[in-house]
Amino acid sequence: MSSKSPLQIQAYDYLKEMILSGKLNPDELYSETRMSAEIGVSRTPMREAIQCLSQDGYITVVPSKGFRIRVLNEQDMQESIQVRCAIEGFCVQVIAAEAETKKGQKLLKNLEKLLEKQEKALQNQNEEIARKRFMEYDHQFHLALVDYLDNAEFRQMFQRLMYLIHLTTVSALAVPGRSEDTLREHKLFFSYLKDGEGDAAYKLMMVHLMMPLTMHIV
C-alpha cells in the first residue's frame, strides 16, 4: 500500500481493522458503495483498497456485487501451513547455522524479549485481552524468523498468508491450554536455536506449525 494514495491507504486500513476486529460478518455481502459512504471516501480509492485486500487474502470479491470476508476452511488452512513449513523451516536452518554471528545474536535477543512478552500476556486476568496480546506476540515471533533472511519473496508470500494465519491462530488458541502449550514450544524451540541445534529446532517447528491440523480445529 506504500505506493497508493492517502485515501486508498485509509480505506485499506479501515477495512482491514474491521475484518481483524470481527466487526464484519463473514456471512454478509458488502457493497463498495456502502463502504465508501461509511468511511467517507469516493468509490475509486475504496475499489483499490478492496482489490488489495483481495490480493492479500482478507476478502473474496463477488463481481458486480461486492465482497465477502474470507472464511477459514480445511484446505486453505492446510495449504497455508504447508507454505509456512517450507518458508519457516528453511529460515530455522539458516538461523541455527548463524546463531553465533552478530546478526544471529541480535535475532535471539529479540526472540527472547518476545517470549517474555508472551509470558506476561498470559498473566492478564482478562482472557480476551490476554489472548489478543499473546497472539500479537506470536505473530511477531514467527515474522522475526522470516524477516531474518531479508528475502523479499518470503515476505510477500507471508503477507498474503497473514489473514489465514490470523484465523488459524484464533481458532487454535481458543482451545483450552493451547496458549500455554504454544509458549512452552516457543521456549524449547528458542533453546534449540540458541544452542545451534538446527535439526532439533526444525523438527519442533514442523510439529508446532502442523498442530492446528492435528487438533482438527476447522
pLDDT in tens, 190-218: 999 999 999 999 999 999 999 998 876 55
Instruction: Report d(CA 141, CA 58) in Å as an integer.
Output: 22
Instruction: Report d(CA 87, CA 117) in Å as an integer.
Output: 25
> How many other CB atoms sit within 10 Å of the CB of residue 131?
19
Instruction: Report d(CA 191, CA 189) in Å as an integer.
Output: 5
pLDDT tens per residue across span 10-48: 999 999 999 988 899 988 999 999 999 998 999 999 999
3-state SS class at 59: strand
3-state SS class at 18: helix
Residue 3 C-alpha cell reads as 505506493
The 3 state secondary structure assigned to 144-176 is: HHHHCCCCHHHHHHHHHHHHHHHHHHHHHHCCC
pLDDT tens per residue across span 51-98: 999 998 899 999 988 999 998 889 999 999 999 999 999 999 999 999
**What confidence score (pLDDT) does residue 20 get?**
87
Amino acid, single-letter form, for residue 133: R
Which residues on neighbouring strands pair with residue 59, listed in sequence order? 69
Instruction: Report d(CA 166, CA 161) in Å as an integer.
Output: 9
Give the predicted TM-score (pTM) of the model.
0.85
Let me know: does 172 contact 178? Beta carbons within 8 Å: yes
Q: How confident is the model at residue 1 (pLDDT cuts 50, 70, 90)?
A: very low
Instruction: Report d(CA 70, CA 92) in Å as an integer.
Output: 30
Which residues on neighbouring strands pair with residue 132, listed in sequence order? none
